[in-house]
Structure 1
Amino acid sequence: MAENKIKAVLFDLDMTLLDLFTPKDEAIKAALTAMFDAGLDLDKEEAFSKLKQEYNKDFEGPLVISNFLNGVKQYHPKILAAAINSYRTTKAGLLKPYPEVIDTLTKLKATGLKLAIVTDAPILKAYRRLDSVGVTEFFDAVVTVTDTGKKKPSPEPFTEALKRLNLTKEEAIHVGDWPERDIKGANEFGMISVHAKYGDIFSDSSYKGKADFEIDSFNQLLGVIHTINQKT
């Protein structure tokens, strides 16, 4: 029997394994409620729009809320503290994997595949998210922007992950939701790319390259790997 070509799967984290934005919206609403209770004086729709804009600038944390409060000229430590606590508590309670993620990861590990995370998130934030949904132990390597100083589509994160797994790019595939980072990065690196369409909130991406495979749900990944291995 021929040996399977694919020996590892690299995964993006946010919007590929975890639905980050549904709990994020709810957490923003909770933070605003806490701010209003603490004394924020602003139209509610305007407040949500402005705070959401801050969170859409590709970062999060206390600085986002601080920037928002400074922007509307209502900064106060009391309001900031209430917002941070409410945001973190709400988001932590709602964060969860996409359907079929745990079942599919279990099946992938059972076949002997190595699994790795390649994320643009900072290392502590990545591990907190993995731990909060109980999937840390599935992964043989976790590569973050903290490790390489580079974000996808740079080749460095992929190179580091494969180095830790002791495999070549021909022996792995990368699964991610963001065309400009995940698909472009894997394609230019020379690794098989799988577009997680279910998590793609950047459908108007300027990157026009195509993924080698597309999946509409996480468990379809099993069929993709089977198809690739059948071709070897």
Structure 2
Amino acid sequence: MIKAAIFDLDGTLLDRDESVKMFIDHQYERLHKFVGHIPREMFAARFIELDNRGYVWKDRVYEQLVDEFEINGITWEELLQDYIDEFKNYCVPFANLIEMLETLKRKSLKLGMITNGKGQFQMDNIKALYIEKYFDAILVSEWEGIKKPDPQIFIRALEQLNVSPSESIFVGDHPVNDVEAAKNAGMIGIWKKDFQWSAVEADFVVDDLAELPLIIEKISIVEEQHS
């Protein structure tokens, strides 16, 4: 029987692609006197390209932007600080996020989150989505000293929730860091569909977060039939 659902954050609960587009558009407006010599679309497109969907930390992104676009009057450190301070104001949730969490809570499931990234930055984004209260355990890689796909971070989350791997599902958008890693830890791996990849080796696939409660029910029915 499934007792816990553990989630990735970026690309799973937080629509990071949309959030980044909104953020960079507003950063361009806010700091127009420093970056106005660059066409808006070019600035946004290059940021998104260098960011590599969050897998490159922004110090390197802004260093490169300052160099390439010959940005003067503001340093890459100041641009980075603006990102750290402001990104949380542009966090876009995926559809049905709150409803899905409410449904799982009503079913008395324990909820956890494992996210790679900077500790306070990720917590600010979680709070911006108004979802912190639903989670019994939140693990951020910087604070844990380990990151996905290391199985230890999954085991640590399971221990905090006091559940076994076989009683838990993990939902994430990355085929290796999320799905494969969770399965390696003995959990049921569910892939939150992402246009970047196809043919992901997952136990289940969801396109919309609203599908999750039904999948959990389905797993429970199958387990009952086999018991």
The TM tier, using the shorter chain, reads 0.7 to 0.9
Q: How does 1:116-131 map to 2 (within 5 A)?
A: 116-131=112-127
Q: 1:65 aligns with which of 47, 62, 70?
A: 62
**Structure 1 counterpart of 2:10:** 14
1:111: how far off?
1.4
1:72 aligned partner, one-letter code: F
TM-score (norm 1): 0.83
Cα 1:159/1:78, change in 2 over 3 Å: closer
2:139 aligned partner, one-letter code: V
2:183 aligned partner, one-letter code: N
**Structure 1 counterpart of 2:212:** 221
TM-score (norm 2): 0.85
Identical counterparts, % of pairs:
26
Q: How does 1:1-232 map to 2 (within 5 A)?
A: 5-38=1-34, 40-56=36-52, 58-61=55-58, 64-77=61-74, 81=78, 85=82, 89=86, 91-197=87-193, 200-203=194-197, 210-232=201-223
Is the Cα–Cα contact under 8 Å of residues 141 and 147 in structure 2 kept in the other structure? yes
1:216: how far off?
1.3
1:231: how far off?
1.8
Unaligned 5+ segments in structure 2 are none
Is the Cα–Cα contact under 8 Å of residues 178 and 202 in structure 1 kept in the other structure? no
Q: SS where residue 130 of structure 1 aligns?
A: helix
1:174-196 C-alpha deviation (Å, 9 max, x unpaired): 00111121111112222101111
1:180-222 C-alpha deviation (Å, 9 max, x unpaired): 211111122221011111xx14316xxx651000111101101
1:35: how far off?
4.1
RMSD, aligned α-carbons: 2.6
Is the Cα–Cα contact under 8 Å of residues 28 and 48 in structure 1 kept in the other structure? yes
Unaligned 5+ segments in structure 1 are none
Is the Cα–Cα contact under 8 Å of residues 116 and 139 in structure 1 kept in the other structure? yes
1:46: how far off?
3.8
Is the Cα–Cα contact under 8 Å of residues 34 and 71 in structure 2 kept in the other structure? no
Q: SS where residue 42 of structure 1 aligns?
A: coil
2:214 aligned partner, one-letter code: G
Is the Cα–Cα contact under 8 Å of residues 18 and 92 in structure 2 kept in the other structure? no
Cα 1:122/1:148, change in 2 over 3 Å: same
2:91 aligned partner, one-letter code: L
